[in-house]
């Protein structure tokens, strides 16, 4: 075979490969963006390092959130079934957080609107009627509420307690809203970091008071204690009083960083209490 002919065949092969790549990329772009780019950009723009949201700016420039909601609504239940577990998990966590942001900016600035609201901060998500059980959003081929995403899908289908540190109810005592979208490629590392940040924050997650022999936990560990049950029999790790909340404590000691606090959890004789839950809005412009 002549050199010229070999060069021509190589060029033709490279051309066909390039065309194939273009078609493959086009097909991928025609489907769902599993990088959640629209939501990722929005979070980068409007969420700070402390997990607080600039709701005023988001409300003034909400087109990107609307566009992202359309992508969620465009996914059918049949498509979801073909996705990996990681892709589905990222989809529903992002959907929950996106719909929560939408509920806030649709009512922003939030004001007290009922007698029931007298018992919550004036700017709290609790002031929005039916925010979890009645407001419906389109995603995955169905009209769905925030409660249904959390309790019928995330908690039931994934056996992943770290979701509780990723879905955010727009309040100060909630886990920090991550300033990036969750993606299937990185979700395990993202959830691991969310857990560490949360339990490492004594104002939100876990506060150890050696002087009073007390460990204060987020009420999340009380509300969803059964989700943190782990296999194995580790009663020997804890003293009698600590065993009252053994499931949560077993979970915590598996994830607490090494150090004096971990040793205290393992060996200390302490009572369990729960931190007050601050329902004020996680707003960068909060004037509490």
At which of 144, 171, 194 does a domain end? 194
Note the pTM of the prediction, 2 decimals.
Answer: 0.86
Same domain, 228 and 122: no
Whether residue 3 is contained in a domain is answered as no
Domain holding 211, by residue range, is 206-274
Whether residue 13 is contained in a domain is answered as no
Confidence band of 19 (pLDDT split at 50, 70, 90): very low
What is the number of domains present in the chain? 2
Burial class (CB in 10 A: 0-12, 13-18, 19+), 249: buried
Same domain, 244 and 125: no
Same domain, 93 and 182: yes
95's CB contacts (< 8 A; 6+ apart) are 72, 137, 139, 140, 149
Same domain, 100 and 166: yes
Alpha carbon 21 to chain centroid distance? Answer: 34
Lowest average pLDDT, out of 40-54, 57-71, 234-248, goes to 234-248
| pLDDT tens-digit readout, 194-232 | 999 999 999 999 999 999 999 999 999 999 999 998 644
> Which residue is associated with the tokens 């997990």?
51
Instruction: Pick the closest to residue 123 from 168, 52, 171 (CA basis).
Output: 171
Q: What is the pLDDT of residue 247?
A: 86
């Amino acid at each position: 075979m002549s050199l010229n002919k070999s060069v021509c065949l190589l060029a033709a092969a490279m051309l066909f490969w390039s065309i194939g790549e273009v078609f493959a990329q086009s097909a991928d772009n025609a489907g769902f963006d599993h990088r959640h780019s629209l939501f990722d950009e929005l979070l980068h723009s409007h969420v700070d390092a402390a997990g607080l949201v600039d709701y005023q700016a988001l409300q003034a420039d909400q087109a990107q959130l609307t566009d992202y909601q359309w992508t969620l609504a465009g996914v059918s239940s049949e498509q979801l079934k073909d996705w990996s577990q990681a892709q589905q998990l990222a989809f529903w966590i992002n959907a929950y957080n996106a719909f929560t942001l939408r509920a806030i900016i649709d009512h922003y600035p939030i004001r007290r609107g009922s007698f029931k609201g007298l018992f919550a901060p004036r700017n709290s998500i609790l002031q929005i009627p039916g925010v979890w059980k009645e407001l419906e959003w389109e995603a995955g081929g169905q009209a769905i509420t925030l409660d249904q995403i959390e309790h019928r899908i995330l908690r039931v289908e994934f056996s992943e307690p770290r979701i509780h540190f990723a879905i955010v109810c727009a309040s100060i005592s909630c886990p920090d809203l991550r300033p990036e979208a969750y993606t299937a490629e990185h979700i395990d590392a993202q959830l691991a970091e969310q857990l560490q940040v949360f339990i490492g924050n004594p104002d939100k997650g876990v506060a150890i008071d050696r002087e009073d022999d007390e460990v204060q936990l987020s009420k999340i560990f009380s509300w969803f204690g059964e989700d943190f049950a782990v296999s194995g029999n580790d009663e020997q790790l804890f003293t009698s009083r600590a065993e009252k909340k053994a499931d949560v404590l077993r979970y915590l000691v598996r994830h607490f960083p090494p150090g004096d606090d971990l040793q205290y959890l393992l060996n200390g004789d302490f009572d369990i209490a729960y931190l007050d839950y601050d329902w004020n809005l996680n707003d960068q412009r909060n004037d509490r």
